[in-house]
Amino acid sequence: MSDNYGQYQQTIYANSMYGSSRPVVTTDPRKLEEQARQMMDARAFNYIAGGAGEKSTMDSNRLAFRQWKLIPKMLRISEVDTSVELFGQKYPHPLLMAPIGVQSLAHADKETGLAEACSEVDVPYILSTASGSSFESVATSSGSGKRWYQLYWPRDNDITLSLLKRAKENGFEALVVTLDTWSLAWRPADLDNGYLPFLAGVGTEFGLTDPVFRAKFEKETGTKAEENIAESSREWVQSIFGTNHTWEDVAFLRKNWDGPLILKGIQHVEDARNALKYGCDGIVVSNHGGRQLDGAIGSLEVLPEIVDAVGKDLTVLFDSGIRTGSDIIKALALGAKAVFVGRPAIYGYAINGKEGAKAVFQGLLADFHLSMLIAGIASIGECRRDAIRRIQYGGDLKALL
């Protein structure tokens, strides 16, 4: 399937017209969230769909995409090559699953189910530290699929080293260190619902399976982590959030991780330069899907200046607001080498489990493939700034959403 996205829409039409099966998961990116909402527990849905403050940064993410327009070219190509090289490895398309914690909120198969879905559609899976499945089980379900690991960076270096060791041993090839969520933002929907998954013991099993954390906990309290889940979960959360690392500490990660080291949550050119200075291989230009700093600039807005500053030396990746094939082209044209998609995949997973998540990836990849064809862009290398133009709209920008 992965290399046959040109045919994917034909399959959908044929299944509907000659068979009787319509797509279970809507193919319309604007209807996906609502379809998921109808099927989900309200608090879990609000946690996933929610953002910080007034959600103004979520709006800014989408508005930024709306203000860039593609300029198609005709009579040029008949096929596209969507493959891309990242950190010396070839990937079939420039799309990865964003690291998302607490996937049990979407489906009972948790991270292992989504990792399996990703592997089946050749989308690399990035495992979050805020997971309810261990490295070991995700590695098994991901199988020969590509997988990276996202670190919420513990205060304690011994725990960090243990996580890095387990990531390496289990075939997680690249390390994504998320910097923008060291403290959780003001999230009104969850505050009003009185709902934080971690406090309900969701998404902490990952830490509770860590041998170094377990030994420390046992020494401090005289009880095993699993004998006192409430206390050990609280301890784990405190050990990975509210941390006070500095740029100098990045040297510790560099010294102890020999694969690609990528910092996630970069929005400022100065930070992009720091990532280079402290020996990283890549960055993810991201504002956490508008879940952290409300009022922050749209992630796509800062992409060009960051690419101009460090794009020759660092692999610049992008997320926050990717919803369509054209969005992927726009981010690549502005210099990203690949993008992550977050909420849409989780909505598909909530609607129809593994098959639902696969349908979202397949739809997005088919849309990307078709949009490349119709735009006359033959390869990722041809996604350049001359393929797009910024439009200055007057009036009420919100009308564009």
Ligand X SMILES: O=C(O)C(=O)c1ccccc1
Ligand Y SMILES: Cc1cc2nc3c(=O)[nH]c(=O)nc-3n(C[C@H](O)[C@H](O)[C@H](O)COP(=O)(O)O)c2cc1C
**Whole-angstrom distance, CA of residue 250 vs CA of residue 129:** 18
Over the window 25 to 64, marking each residue x when it contacts ligand Y by CB under 6 A and - when it does not, the resulting string is: ----------------------xx----------------
Angle between helices 325-333 and 299-310 (to 10 degrees): 30
Is there a catalytic annotation at residue 288? Answer: yes
CA distances from 55 to 33, 107, 144, 193, 398 (A): 15, 25, 38, 17, 12
Instruction: Kindly tell me the number of DSSP H helices and DSSP E strands found in the chain.
Output: 16, 12
Closest CA to 114 of 357, 390, 282: 357
Element (H, E) at 175: strand 175-178
| Per-residue binder mask for ligand Y (CB under 6 A), 333-352, x = binder | --------xxx---------
In contact, 148 and 124? CB cutoff 8 Å: yes
- Note whether 150 binds ligand Y by CB under 6 A: yes
Cα(127)–Cα(146) distance, integer angstroms: 11
101 belongs to an annotated ligand binding site: yes
Min CB(131)–ligand Y separation in Å: 8
Cα–Cα nearest to 329, from 392, 264, 366, 377? 377
Contact 380, 87 (CB under 8 A): no
Please tell me whether residue 101 binds ligand Y under the rule CB under 6 A: yes
State the amino acid at position 345 in one-letter form. Answer: A
Binder of residue 343, out of ligand X, ligand Y, none (CB less than 5 to 8 A by kind): ligand Y
By CB under 6 A, tell whether 110 contacts ligand Y.
Answer: no
Cβ partners under 8 Å of residue 34, min gap 6: none
Give least dist CB 322 to ligand Y, A.
5
- Minimum gap (Å) between residue 153 Cβ and ligand X: 13
CB of 264 to ligand Y, least distance (A): 5
Q: Which does 203 bind (CB under 5 to 8 A by kind): ligand Y, ligand X, none?
A: ligand X
Q: Which positions lie near ligand X, rule CB under 6 A?
A: 101-102, 130, 181, 198, 203, 288, 291
Residue 78 C-beta: closest distance to ligand X, Å? 42
Q: Out of 53, 145, 321, 348, which residue is the one contacting ligand Y (CB under 6 A)?
A: 321
Single-letter amino acid, residue 4: N
Q: Is 100 a binder of ligand Y (CB under 6 A)?
A: yes
Helix 269-277 to helix 299-310 angle (10° resolution) is 40
Spatial separation of the C-alpha atoms in residues 51 and 33, rounded to whole Å = 14
Q: Is residue 138 part of the contact set for ligand Y (CB under 6 A)?
A: no
Catalytic member of 93, 107, 288, 369: 288
Q: Which is nearer to ligand Y, 57 or 141 (CB)?
A: 57
Residue 288 annotated as part of some ligand binding site: yes
Q: What six digits make up the tokens of 39?
A: 């099927």
Which chain residues interact with ligand Y by CB under 6 A? 47-48, 98-101, 128, 130, 150, 178, 264, 286, 288-289, 291, 319-322, 341-343
Query: Residue ranges for the binding site for FMN?
Result: 99-101, 128, 150, 178, 264, 286, 319-323, 342-343
Query: Residue ranges for the binding site?
Result: 47, 99-101, 128, 150, 152, 178, 187, 264, 286, 288, 291, 319-323, 342-343
Active-site annotation, residues: 288
Query: Residue ranges for the binding site for glyoxylate?
Result: 47, 152, 187, 288, 291
